[in-house]
């Protein structure tokens, strides 16, 4: 299935509106065939559940069984909620927006850069990718989702600074983001290490012989 069409969303919302129960087909409805096609497509996507034939036989009206009965599934509720938030976010009117914490503000392009960095985690052993992923998971969108705010904890700032420092050192991006993060740190503080704490050990020599005990 591609993107759901408006009539599919409408029927899914009607199914969801029947709290704890089933939306039952109306055999007399003029668009009955079209609605049957829609509800089966929604069921195929795992957004709603169709009642078995035995249950439909128990819902006969005027001697006719409904063509279908459907109830919402958790995936359907989530899809409806995400659509609501996605539509509202595009207009800058996100409902029930969580309060934006005091922290470091990142642009959408900076966030994309940091997400690309975390995606390279398997290829960057020792890098602060796990710390950075934890920091990005705390990001809260600003109005219109053009900026994101990450709580300015020491761990978050260290991970973000290290990623932007690598970007700067390799010439992958300008130094503007790195220096902006540095201005968030206390005056005179040393730059964050590029490697995570547990990885910040000098490399070991390969096949280095163990030191020999000395006698007295």
97-117 pLDDT, tens digit per residue, is 555 557 899 999 999 999 999
Determine the structural domain holding residue 15 and report its residue range.
Answer: 6-80
Beta bridge partners of 151: 103
Asked if 108 and 194 sit in the same domain, the reply is yes
Q: Judge whether residue 215 has pLDDT over 60.
A: no
Q: Does 89 reside within a domain?
A: no
Asked if 111 and 75 sit in the same domain, the reply is no
Counting the structural domains of the chain, the total is 2
Measured over the CA atoms of residue 181, residue 166, residue 133 and residue 112, the dihedral's sign is positive
Q: Does 1 reside within a domain?
A: no
CATH classification of the domain holding 53: 1.10.10
- pTM of the shown model: 0.59
What is the dihedral angle through the alpha carbons of 158, 161, 167, 171, rounded to the nearest 10 degrees? Answer: -130
| pLDDT given at position 28 | 76
Asked if 178 and 140 sit in the same domain, the reply is yes
In terms of phi and psi (left: phi > 0; alpha: psi -120 to 50; beta: otherwise), the region of 30 is alpha
Higher-confidence position of 13 and 59: 13
129-170 pLDDT, tens digit per residue, is 999 999 999 998 876 668 889 999 999 999 999 999 999 998
């Amino acid at each position: 299935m591609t993107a759901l069409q408006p009539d599919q969303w409408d029927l899914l919302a009607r199914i969801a509106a029947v709290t704890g129960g089933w939306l039952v087909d109306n055999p007399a409805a003029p668009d009955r065939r079209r609605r049957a096609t829609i509800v089966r497509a929604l069921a195929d996507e795992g957004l709603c559940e169709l009642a078995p034939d035995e249950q439909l036989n128990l819902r006969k009206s005027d001697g006719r069984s409904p063509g279908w009965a459907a109830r919402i599934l958790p995936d359907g509720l989530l899809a409806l909620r995400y659509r609501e938030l996605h539509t509202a976010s595009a207009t800058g009117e996100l409902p029930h927006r969580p309060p934006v914490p005091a922290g470091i503000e990142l642009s959408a392009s900076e966030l994309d850069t940091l997400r690309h960095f975390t995606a390279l985690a398997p290829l960057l052993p020792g890098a602060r990718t796990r710390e950075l992923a934890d920091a990005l998971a705390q990001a809260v969108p600003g109005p219109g989702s053009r900026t994101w705010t990450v709580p300015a904890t020491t761990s978050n700032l260290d991970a973000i600074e290290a990623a932007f420092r690598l970007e700067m050192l390799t010439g992958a991006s300008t130094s503007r983001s790195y220096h902006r993060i540095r201005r968030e740190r206390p005056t005179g503080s040393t730059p964050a290490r590029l490697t995570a704490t547990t990885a910040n050990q000098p490399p070991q020599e390969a096949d280095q012989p163990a030191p020999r005990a000395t006698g007295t």
